[in-house]
Amino acid sequence: MEYIQKYGGVVIYLQQEGRGIGLANKIAAYALQQTGVDTVDANRMLGFGDDLRQYEPVQYILQDLGIKSIHLMTNNPRKCQQLNKLGIQIESRIPVLAKINKYNSAYLKSKSERMAHIIDRDTFSGNGRQGEKQGTPPQHGTPRRRATAGIQLPWEEVKEHH
């Protein structure tokens, strides 16, 4: 929200808790995760796919607002692909930054390794700060280019420090 306040924009919230499985099932998935199951396997154990979200409403919301292209805040390449399939022009992808800690490291590792989320190394070293180095929109309408190749993340360092 700080980023939107600083640079402007629109937040579109789609009520699709737990990657589309619903709030009650998301809570059941959390219970499984408390036993050591990762986020992907928890959804599968409940009989759901990895990501069931539907993005069709976004195209109509953007049309109603007169928005022709977007700078999308996400680490999820599937979200970019799904929006592109709907004809939504993504000018750039702005990473969502979260400092890794002992509470979220396993979750972020699963997102990166099992769901191909793009997680910047600076996020894990503490250097990434939203709205500055990585989160600033491109100047003069030039699309920002970001590598989508996987990177090796310092998971072992996290375990050693916590």
Q: Which residue has the tokens 């759901």?
A: 48
Task: Pick the catalytic residue from 51, 78, 122, 144.
Answer: 51
93 in Cβ contact with 144 (< 8 Å): yes
Buried (b) or exposed (e) across 44-56, using 16+ Cβ within 10 A?
eeeebeebeeebe
Task: Pick the catalytic residue from 44, 53, 78, 144.
Answer: 53
Pick left, alpha or beta for residue 44 (phi over 0 → left; psi -120 to 50 → alpha; otherwise beta): alpha
Question: Known catalytic residue: 53?
Answer: yes
Question: Known catalytic residue: 114?
Answer: no
What residue type is assigned to position 36 of the chain?
Answer: G
Give the active site residues: 51, 53
